[in-house]
């Protein structure tokens, strides 16, 4: 195995250069003055020996200078690598700072969005609660105003058999509240949670206020009716078109039904269901194919807006 040649240090090379320079100076002096001093005693071949020595010294000088240059280049390269490593570390530190700032900003934005969502949810809940309270107040006020209506002049329509309990209507009314139509009844006794199937509370409407059109009932011509029926264990509401022969045409369902003890109230959107804000009407109860407790007992009532 060959041994790797060890490069001399910078100090050693500088010392060599000094020695070589000194020798070259002495030799140069001898070359310029020695022939004159020893002119008569010069030995043949002396000039050639001196020239060879000078050539060797000059070559050693050049080699030393080349090695110094190589060492300087190596040192410069090492310095450049150290500088690049420092720059890379500085860039990594800067990127880490940016990432930390971005993460902090994301946390701030997420917290702000969460607070905004909570605020919006709370505002929506408050608005919904306020609206529900207003609707409940309007309903309570409407029910409080329900009073027996003066019975109009009787007509030739025969009276149905008398009814008692939840099939007996004490008072009924129709009104307008906050753009909605309210249909209300109060029965003689509380309406059961699970009454007989098919029990229906009905408001018969004459929307064109023409007794000659629609199904004849009392002294009006019914063309629509609002019905709340107990079916399959639940209360269902419908608004249906009534044909002249009593058959029902197209119907629309609704679920805004409130039954509390003896009070029954329905809230409808007249625009959605195509109901006018003025019409003649009468109320009744139906169960088991029979009609009970018409209200009023004869004639009809009118909603005027």
pLDDT in tens, 72-117: 777 777 777 877 877 778 777 767 766 775 676 666 556 656 666 6
**Predicted local distance difference test score (pLDDT) of residue 93:** 74
Query: Is 154 found in the same domain as 90?
Result: no
Q: Contact at 8 Å (CB) between 226 and 207?
A: no
Query: Is 150 found in the same domain as 294?
Result: yes
Query: Is 187 found in the same domain as 52?
Result: no
State the total domains in the chain: 2
pLDDT bucket at 138, cuts 50 / 70 / 90: low
The residue among 69, 98, 130 that closes a domain is 130
**Predicted local distance difference test score (pLDDT) of residue 108:** 57
Q: What's the CA gap between 228 and 176, in Å, rounded?
A: 19
In a domain, 140, yes or no: no
The residue among 97, 130, 163 that closes a domain is 130
Beta strands 248-254 and 224-231, pairing class: unpaired
136: helix, strand or coil: helix
In a domain, 280, yes or no: yes
In a domain, 171, yes or no: yes
In a domain, 136, yes or no: no
In a domain, 53, yes or no: yes
pLDDT in tens, 224-274: 999 999 999 999 999 999 988 888 888 999 989 999 999 999 999 999 999
pTM over 0.75: no
Which of residues 115 and 42 earns the better pLDDT score? Answer: 115
Q: What would the DSSP string read from start to end of 148-217? A: PPPP----SSPPPPP--GGG-EEEEEEEEETTEEEEEEEESSPPPSS--TT-EEEEEEETT--TTSSEEE
Which of residues 250 and 126 earns the better pLDDT score? Answer: 250
Mean pLDDT of 47-68: 73
Q: Which of 292, 297, 281, 263 is nearest to 190 (CA)?
A: 263
Round to the nearest angstrom and report the end-to-end CA distance of the chain: 118
By residue range, what is the domain housing residue 54?
7-130
Instruction: Evaluate if residue 22 carries a pLDDT over 60.
Output: yes
Q: What's the CA gap between 182 and 201, in Å, rounded?
A: 14
Instruction: Evaluate if residue 141 carries a pLDDT over 70.
Output: no
Q: What's the CA gap between 135 and 146, in Å, rounded?
A: 17
Instruction: Evaluate if residue 295 carries a pLDDT over 70.
Output: yes
* Residue-averaged pLDDT of the chain: 77
Within a 10 A sphere around the Cβ of 200, how many other Cβ atoms?
A: 17
Q: What's the CA gap between 259 and 191, in Å, rounded?
A: 8
Query: Is 123 found in the same domain as 162?
Result: no
Query: Is 16 found in the same domain as 155?
Result: no
**Predicted local distance difference test score (pLDDT) of residue 204:** 96
Q: What's the CA gap between 160 and 294, in Å, rounded?
A: 8
Query: Is 120 found in the same domain as 50?
Result: yes
């Amino acid at each position: 195995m060959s041994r790797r040649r060890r490069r001399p240090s910078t100090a050693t090379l500088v010392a060599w250069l000094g020695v070589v320079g000194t020798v070259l100076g002495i030799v140069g002096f001898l070359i310029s003055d020695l022939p004159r001093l020893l002119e008569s005693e010069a030995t043949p071949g002396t000039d050639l020996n001196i020239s060879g020595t000078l050539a060797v010294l000059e070559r050693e000088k050049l080699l030393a200078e080349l090695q110094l240059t190589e060492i300087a280049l190596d040192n410069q390269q090492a310095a450049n690598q150290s500088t690049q490593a420092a720059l890379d570390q500085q860039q990594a530190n800067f990127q880490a700072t940016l990432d930390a700032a971005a993460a902090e900003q994301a946390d701030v934005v997420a917290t702000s969005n969460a607070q905004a969502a909570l605020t919006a949810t709370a505002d929506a809940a408050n608005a919904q609660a306020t609206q529900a309270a207003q609707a409940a107040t309007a309903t309570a006020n409407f029910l409080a105003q329900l009073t027996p209506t003066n019975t109009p002049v009787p007509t030739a329509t025969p009276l149905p058999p008398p009814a008692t309990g939840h099939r007996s209507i004490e008072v009924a009314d129709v009104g307008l509240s906050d753009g909605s139509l309210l249909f209300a009844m109060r029965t003689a006794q509380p309406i059961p949670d699970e009454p007989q199937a098919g029990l229906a509370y009905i408001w018969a409407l004459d929307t064109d206020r023409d007794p000659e059109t629609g199904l004849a009932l009392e002294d009006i011509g019914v063309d629509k009716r609002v019905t709340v029926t107990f079916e399959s264990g639940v209360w269902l509401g419908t608004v249906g078109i009534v044909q002249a022969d009593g058959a029902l045409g197209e119907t629309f369902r609704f679920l805004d039904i409130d039954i509390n003890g003896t009070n029954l109230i329905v809230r409808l959107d007249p625009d959605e269901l195509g109901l006018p804000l003025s019409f003649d009407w009468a109320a009744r109860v139906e169960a088991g194919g029979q009609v009970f407790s018409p209200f009023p007992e004869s004639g009809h009532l009118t909603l005027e807006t």
